[in-house]
């Protein structure tokens, strides 16, 4: 058995989108170690196929990481070397270069490295997937505008790791012991018994430019409640003030009350999840729940829309912020999402669930 590193160093949502590729790495019988950043460890712990999770706080991927210095790079090299890996596959989005990461892997003694690189990799990669437009360049083997899960699977396949014959390629997470019961208890404490219907609304986002404005979220809760839905408002502990304000008198506030794994079970039980382009959108997809996606076009929806589940995309995809990858909205008033009325969310939920007043 070989040991293969699956390297994805950004957030939980990105790690979830890499899940089908990690299963492809494991399909051949290799031991797969997921090497992730601290913002991706919660998702990595739930991924089928990952035998181990190792956290690398990488300074050229995570803006909150320690400075890139000879000492921090040496620490990373030593950490990777201790894993004694035979191979690594570096998963990146279209705007990221794998080459600094590949350099550390090479210095750590990893024998075979696969990644997608626009730039000539020299001796840093053994297997290179070439991104681009195949109609313009016959050497391209990774077409532009693939959904992120398909891009990751294609990178793995370029390295010889093929998806198993019974794998549908959808996002998937494991259910740790006790999480179903914990989710049931959290909901029961607010009067939602097992099997009762509800809609989840997740107002927060890791990137502010991708969030529906809080006042719109609060109005959305009221509109959904008026349409006959019970509404559960979810969020991380740091988002508790936001979820309390959004839930108001009409919603059920679970902000800060769930772990990531328990959140997955809360989302699994929902009729639909209303959420921006952020990690819980992909977590909802991983548990098979339809998504009303309030999608800011700062990144392309063709790559990052909810994958493999029914979804409705809301938001002006031609807004001036399109393609900027901005963290904070560069357009006054955040028009791409502020312009989405609560009634549009109610109609989208009805379309996905068949529920009407």
Give the per-residue pLDDT at 356: 55
Instruction: Report the C-alpha gap between 352 and 336 in whole angstroms.
Output: 22
Architecture of domain 179-353: 3-Layer(aba) Sandwich (3.40)
Here the tokens at position 74 are: 């040496």
Q: How far is CA 146 from CA 125, 211, 288, in A?
A: 22, 24, 21
342-351 pLDDT tens trace: 999 999 999 9
Instruction: Report the C-alpha gap between 206 and 335 in whole angstroms.
Output: 19
Whether 249 shows a pLDDT value over 80: the answer reads yes
Whether 9 shows a pLDDT value over 80: the answer reads yes
Whether 309 shows a pLDDT value over 60: the answer reads yes
Distance of CA 294 to the CA centre of its chain: 15
Give the per-residue pLDDT at 354: 85
Q: How confident is the model at residue 135 (pLDDT cuts 50, 70, 90)?
A: confident
179-229 pLDDT tens trace: 999 999 999 999 999 999 999 999 999 888 899 999 999 999 999 999 999
Indicate the SS3 state at residue 284.
Answer: helix
Establish whether domains 3-158 and 179-353 are of one fold: yes
Give the per-residue pLDDT at 329: 87
Is residue 209 within 8 Å of 326, Cβ to Cβ? yes
Q: Among the residues of 29-173, which ranges form H helices?
A: 41-44, 70-81, 99-107, 148-158
Q: Among the residues of 144-229, which ranges form H helices?
A: 148-158, 179-188, 214-226
Domain ranges of the chain: 3-158, 179-353
Cβ-based neighbour number of residue 263 at 10 Å? 26
138 contact partners, CB below 8 Å, separation of at least 6: none
77-116 pLDDT tens trace: 999 999 999 999 999 998 899 999 999 999 999 999 999 9
Nearest one of 223, 230, 174 to 200, comparing CA atoms: 230
**CATH of the domain spanning 3-158:** 3.40.50.2000
């Amino acid at each position: 058995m070989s040991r293969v590193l699956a390297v994805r160093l950004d957030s939980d949502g990105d790690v979830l989108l890499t899940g089908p590729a990690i299963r492809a790495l494991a399909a051949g019988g290799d031991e797969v170690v997921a090497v992730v950043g601290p913002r991706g460890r919660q998702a990595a712990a739930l991924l089928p196929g990952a035998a181990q999770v190792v956290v690398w706080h990488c300074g050229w991927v995570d803006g909150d990481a320690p400075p890139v210095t000879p000492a921090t790079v040496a620490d990373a090299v030593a950490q990777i070397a201790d894993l004694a890996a035979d191979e690594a596959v570096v998963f990146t989005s279209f705007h990221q270069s794998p080459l600094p990461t590949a350099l550390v892997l090479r210095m750590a003694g990893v024998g075979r490295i696969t990644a997608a690189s626009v730039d000539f990799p020299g001796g840093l990669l053994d297997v290179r997937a070439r991104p681009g437009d195949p109609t313009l360049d016959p050497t391209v083997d990774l077409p532009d505008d693939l959904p992120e899960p398909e891009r990751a699977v294609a990178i793995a396949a370029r390295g010889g790791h093929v998806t198993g014959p019974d794998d549908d390629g959808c996002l998937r997470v494991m259910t740790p012991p006790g999480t179903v019961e914990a989710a049931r208890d959290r909901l029961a404490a607010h009067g939602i018994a097992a099997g009762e219907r509800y809609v989840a609304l997740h107002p927060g986002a890791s990137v502010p430019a991708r969030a529906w404005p809080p006042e719109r979220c609060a109005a959305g809760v009221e509109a959904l409640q008026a349409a006959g839905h019970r509404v559960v408002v979810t969020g991380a502990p740091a988002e508790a003030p936001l979820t309390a304000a959004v839930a108001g008198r009409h919603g059920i506030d679970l902000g800060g009350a769930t772990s990531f794994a328990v959140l997955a079970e809360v989302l699994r039980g929902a009729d639909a999840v209303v959420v921006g382009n952020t990690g819980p959108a992909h977590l909802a997809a991983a548990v098979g729940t339809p998504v009303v996606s309030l999608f800011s076009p700062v990144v392309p929806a063709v790559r990052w829309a909810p994958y493999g589940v029914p979804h409705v995309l809301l938001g002006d995809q031609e807004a001036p912020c399109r393609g900027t990858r901005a963290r904070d909205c560069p357009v006054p008033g955040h028009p791409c999402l502020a312009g989405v009325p609560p009634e549009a969310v109610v109609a989208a939920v009805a379309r996905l669930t068949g529920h009407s007043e």
